Amino acid sequence: MKLLVCGAAGFIGSTFVELRVREHGDEVTVLDALTYAGRQENLEAVQAEIRFMAGAIEDPAAVAGAIGDAEAIVNFAAETHVDRSIADPYAFSVTNGLGTHVLLEAARERGLRYVQVSTDEVYGSIETGSFTESSPLAPSSPYSASKTGGDLLVSSYFHTYGLPTNICRGSNNYGPRQYPEKLIPLMVLNALAGDHLPVYGDGRQVRNWLYVEDFGRGIGHVLEHGVPGETYNCGGPDECENIEVVQRILTLTGGDESQIEYVTDRPGHDRRYSLSCAKLEALGWSARTRFDDGLGRTVDWYRENSAWWEPIRSGAYREYYERHYGRALR
Ligand code: NAD
Ligand code: DAU
C-alpha cells in the first residue's frame, strides 16, 4: 500500500512505519514537523526505504507537497503529553484539532482512506469495568479534549462526505524510543541514574499498558480490515497501578525504594483507564506482549541505547524537567 504517515518521527509512528515496511512492503512517505518529540533518527532502520518530508500537518502546502500518490493517510502527528497540555495548551488545539482537519480536507479532495490514531483518554476516567467504542466521550485534560475534537472531525467527514475513515484508540503505550517525559522511560532513566522517581499523588492510578508493536499492528489491522466509519479500541492485556510499575522498574534496574518520592498530583488527574477491545479482536487482532515481558525488554533497550537518550537528557528536556518538577535532573 502507498501510505502518507504523519508524525512518524515519534515513538509509535516510527514503530508503525518499521512494521509496515518490513512486514507488508508498504511504500511510505513520512510527514513530520520534528518537534521536541520527533527525531529523524527514530526512522534510521528504514531510512533508505522511505521518503521523509519535514513539515506540519496544519500547513496545507506541506501536506499537498507530501501526499504524492498515497492511497491512505495514517495520522500519528500530535502533541501528546498531558502535563505539557496543562502548562501550555494552545499547541494542542493547533496540531490535534486544526492539523487533523487539514489532513481530512486533503483526504477528501483526493478520495483517500484515512486512519486517525487516537487515545483511550477521550472517554475520561472509569472506576470499574472497561470503555467500549460506544461509551460517552468525556475528556478531562486539554490534551484529551483536543484529541476528542480531532476524532469528532474524523467522524463528521465520514457522515457528511462519505470519506472512508477509521479511528483507532490506544491505551498507554510503552517500549523503545519513547520520549523520557512519559512515566516508564522517565522512571527507567532516573532509576539507572540513581535520581528520584517522582510519583504523582498516591500513585494508585491505574493504566492499561500496551506494548508499542502491538499498537502498531493494531493500527495496521484497522487500516487493512476496518469497516469505514467505525472506531476500534486497542488496549493492552494488563492493568497496573503506577506505584507497582515504579516498583517493578526498581527491581529490573537494581534501584532502591528510597528513590521514590511522592510529589504534588497532576491537576484533573484521571484515576483509571481501561479499554474493551472485543471489537478489534473480532476483526482478528490481539495483543501479543504481556506487561512483564515487554517491561523487561524496554528496560534492556534503554540500558543498551544510551546514545539515543543521552542527547535528550542533556538538552532542552533538562529545562522542561526543572520547570515541571522544580528540581534539576542528575
Ligand atoms: P510522540 O510525542 O512520541 O510523537 C509525536 C510526533 O508527532 C513527533 O514526531 C512530532 O514531531 C510529530 N508532530 C507533532 N506536532 C506535529 C505537527 N503539527 N505536524 C507534524 N508532525 C507533528 O507521540 P506518540 O506517543 O508516538 O503518539 C503518537 C500518536 O498516538 C498520537 O496521536 C497520540 O495521541 C496517540 N497515542 C499515544 C499513546 C501513548 O501512550 N503514547 C497512546 C494512545 C494513543
Ligand atoms: O492513555 C493513553 C495516553 O497515555 C496517551 O494518549 C498519551 O499521549 C500518553 O502520554 C499517555 O498519557 P498518561 O497521562 O496516562 O501518561 P504519562 O506517562 O504521562 O503518565 C502515566 C501515569 O503516570 C499517569 O497516571 C501519571 C503518572 N505519572 C507520570 C509522570 C510523567 C507520575 O506519577 N509521575 C510522572 O512523573
Over residues 173-232, the pLDDT tens digits come to 999 999 999 999 999 999 999 999 999 999 999 999 999 999 999 999 999 999 999 999
Distance 56 CA to ligand 1 centre (A): 12
Averaged pLDDT of the chain: 98
Can you name the residues that pair with 30 across neighbouring β-strands? 5, 52
> Could you say which of 58, 120, 195, 214 is catalytic?
120
Residue 261 is among the residues annotated as catalytic for this protein: no
Q: What percent of the chain has pLDDT over 90?
A: 100
Q: What is the pLDDT of residue 2?
A: 98
Sign of CA dihedral 139, 141, 146, 147: negative
Alpha carbon distance 233, 135 (integer Å): 11
The whole-model pTM stands at 0.99
Which atom of ligand 1 is the closest one to the Cα of 36?
A: 11
Average of per-residue pLDDT across 33-53: 98
On the CB side of 298, CA atoms within 13 Å amount to: 31
Distance 270 CA to ligand 2 centre (A): 10
**What are the C-alpha distances in Å from 214 to residues 68, 95, 193, 264?**
29, 25, 29, 33
* Lookup: cell for 139: 475528556
Contact status, residue 264 vs residue 154, Cβ threshold 8 Å: no
Q: pLDDT-derived band of residue 155, with 50, 70 and 90 as boundaries?
A: very high
Residue 26 is among the residues annotated as catalytic for this protein: no
Q: Is 81 in the pocket of ligand 2 (CB under 6 A)?
A: yes
Q: Which of 200, 243, 320 to mutate to test the pocket of ligand 2 (most atoms within 8 A of CB)?
A: 200
Residue type, 62: A
Residue 121 is among the residues annotated as catalytic for this protein: yes
Q: pLDDT-derived band of residue 107, with 50, 70 and 90 as boundaries?
A: very high
Q: What is the pLDDT of residue 23?
A: 98
**What are the C-alpha distances in Å from 74 to residues 53, 113, 226, 249, 280?**
15, 9, 13, 33, 17
Burial (CB count within 10 angstroms: exposed 0-12, middle 13-18, buried 19+), residue 234: buried
Which atom of ligand 1 is the closest one to the Cα of 173?
A: 40
Sequence-ordered alpha helix ranges (H) in 111-170: 142-161
Which atom of ligand 2 is the closest one to the Cα of 81?
A: 10
Task: Identify which of 148, 276, 267, 271 has the alpha carbon closest to the alpha carbon of residue 207.
Answer: 271
Contact status, residue 121 vs residue 127, Cβ threshold 8 Å: no
Q: Is 198 in the pocket of ligand 2 (CB under 6 A)?
A: yes
Q: Can you spell out the DSSP letters for 35-71?
A: -TT--GGGGGGGTTTSEEEE--TT-HHHHHHHHTT-S
Q: Is 33 in the pocket of ligand 1 (CB under 6 A)?
A: yes
Give the number of the ligand closest to the Cα of residue 9: 1
Which atom of ligand 2 is the closest one to the Cα of 183?
A: 18
Nearest CA to ligand 2 atom 7: 80
Q: What percent of the chain has pLDDT over 70?
A: 100
Give the number of the ligand closest to the Cα of residue 207: 2
Give the number of the ligand closest to the Cα of residue 154: 1
Contact status, residue 146 vs residue 79, Cβ threshold 8 Å: yes
